[in-house]
Structure formats: structure tokens, C-alpha cells
Amino acid sequence: MSMIDNFEGMLAAGQDSPLLRYSLGLEYGKAGEHARAVEHLRNAVEQDPGYSAAWKQLGGALAETGDAEGAIAAYEKGIEAAENKGDKQAAKEMRVFLKRLQK
């Protein structure tokens, strides 16, 4: 059984949480299923708008689907979330990705 299957099983059993959605997004991204990754990562940040790691992954997944505008918006929100909780490294990384998209 794959990690995706395990996580989907947990979700089906009602164990929904930002961390579970983030984990699903990561696994779908690794599998190249970026649209599915976006779906779960969006849910993670809806549940926890301060989840900077999820914003970062969401931006990357959106960029992979060709949605540069959406990726830019996700990185901007992610930078704000990271700065609000003092996560300087995450904010710095997202600024780099943001600059690349804005070129």
C-alpha cells in the first residue's frame, strides 16, 4: 500500500487535518499529480491559513500546473504567514520562487 493510499484511507476515515492534507499534497506532487496536490494543499491552507510550508508547496504545485498567477498569490500569502510566525527561512525561499515567477 502506498503512502497516498494510507493517507487517503485516513481521510476517508474522517481524520482530516491540515497536516494530513499537506502530506497528501506532497505525495501527489512527488507522483507528478500536481492538480491533485493543489486540491489537498488548498484544503490545508483553508484549514490553517498560517501553515507556511503548505503555502510554499501550494505555490510550487500551482506553478507545475501552469497557473503562474495562482502560484504568485500562494507565495505572497505564504510569505505573509511565514513572517507572522517568524519563519524567516520559509519566507526567504518563497521570495526566491516568487521572483522567478515574476520575471
pLDDT digits (tens, 9 = 90+) for 63-103: 999 999 999 999 999 999 999 999 999 999 999 999 999 98
Phi and psi dihedrals of 16, rounded to 5? -65, 135
Q: Quote the mean pLDDT of the chain.
A: 97
Provide the whole-model pTM: 0.94
Q: Which CATH superfamily is domain 3-102 in?
A: Tetratricopeptide repeat domain (1.25.40.10)
* Cα–Cα nearest to 59, from 84, 81, 38, 35: 38
